[in-house]
Amino acid sequence: MNTTQHTTQNTALSGKLSFITENILSVQSKIQAACQRSSRSAKTITLLAVSKTKPNEMILAAQSAGLTVFGENYVQELCEKIETLPSDITWHMIGHLQRNKVKYIIGKTALIHSVDSFRLAEQIEKEAAKAGVVQDILLEINVAQEESKWGFTLEDALDAVKQVSQLSHIRVKGLMTSAPYTENPEENRLYFRALRSCFDSIREMALPNVSMEVLSMGMTGDYEVAIEEGSTLVRVGTGIFGERNYH
């Protein structure tokens, strides 16, 4: 770690970015409580900070508060942040990925959550082979079958996993979903429960090249319910960094 970074972090901790540390503590205690309600250990949950649209200094503040895994939605923004932020940050791609952009993130992204078609998986296979790496991925499932969202249907999930498991430069690590936006997170419980059940049945099949370890579900509005239903990774943006401004 260089000196500039220490300065940024110390300023962030005591100064105008201290709300980030407070937010993280609050999210962590809610994760803890949801784990207690469902007799789980909080150690089994990864808190991924969704940093899209947020500046580097905020990411450094979250890192100095103890977070290590960050998620981005847009390839260009992800690449810029990877280049300019400390190398001990673990980056995940969580947004819809176009096939022509795959080449920019292979080898730099620990986990791609948003594999939503076999053609995208084939492109990842091709670029990973070229780079000589094996890329960890999740398959995105559109559990609620929303028109506006990407992903395989629940019905197609098993076939998709089987098909993708044939690709030797990809490891399927689990499943991801984004539940509908709602004021009442209880409304999403059935979607989380359905994905968990799918996740368990795929895991029981013990397919080669497939390890169902990561169940990525739950965002700011619904991560507590998602944890109660078996999530192992929650993706929290607003709850850590505040509202996003896209302008």
* CB of residue 214 to ligand PLP, shortest distance in Å: 14
Please identify, among the stretches 27-35, 191-199, 201-209, 213-221, the one whose residues bind ligand PLP according to the rule CB under 6 A: 213-221
Please identify, among the stretches 7-15, 126-134, 147-155, 231-239, the one whose residues bind ligand PLP according to the rule CB under 6 A: 231-239
Give, as ranges, the residues between 16 and 55 that touch ligand PLP (CB under 6 A): 50, 52
For residues 113 and 136, what is the distance between their CA atoms, to the nearest angstrom? 9
Q: Which is nearer to ligand PLP, 111 or 236 (CB)?
A: 236
* CB of residue 196 to ligand PLP, shortest distance in Å: 17
112, 138 Cβ separation under 8 angstroms: yes
**How many residues bind ligand PLP, per CB under 6 A?**
14
Q: Counting contacts by CB under 6 A, is residue 230 touching ligand PLP? A: no
Q: Counting contacts by CB under 6 A, is residue 220 touching ligand PLP? A: yes
Q: Counting contacts by CB under 6 A, is residue 177 touching ligand PLP? A: no
* CB of residue 123 to ligand PLP, shortest distance in Å: 20
Closest-CB residue for ligand PLP?
A: 237
Q: Counting contacts by CB under 6 A, is residue 63 touching ligand PLP? A: no
For residues 26 and 32, what is the distance between their CA atoms, to the nearest angstrom? 10
For residues 33 and 224, what is the distance between their CA atoms, to the nearest angstrom? 8
Please identify, among the stretches 54-62, 85-93, 167-175, 219-227, the one whose residues bind ligand PLP according to the rule CB under 6 A: 219-227
86, 129 Cβ separation under 8 angstroms: no
* CB of residue 207 to ligand PLP, shortest distance in Å: 25
Q: Counting contacts by CB under 6 A, is residue 94 touching ligand PLP? A: yes
Q: SS3 for the chain, per residue?
A: CCHHHHHHHHHHHHCCCHHHHHHHHHHHHHHHHHHHHCCCCHHHCEEEEECCCCCHHHHHHHHHCCCCEEEECCHHHHHHHHHHCCCCCEEEECCCCCHHHHHHHCCCCCEEEEECCHHHHHHHHHHHHHHCCCEEEEEEECCCCCCCCCCECHHHHHHHHHHHCCCCCEEEEEEECCCCCCCCHHHHHHHHHHHHHHHHHHHHCCCCCEEEEEEECCCCCCHHHHHHCCCCEEEECHHHHCCCCCC
Q: Which is nearer to ligand PLP, 7 or 26 (CB)?
A: 26
Please identify, among the stretches 83-91, 117-125, 145-153, 215-223, the one whose residues bind ligand PLP according to the rule CB under 6 A: 215-223
Q: Counting contacts by CB under 6 A, is residue 238 touching ligand PLP? A: yes
- Binding residues for ligand PLP, rule: CB under 6 A, are 50, 52, 73, 94-95, 178, 219-221, 235-239
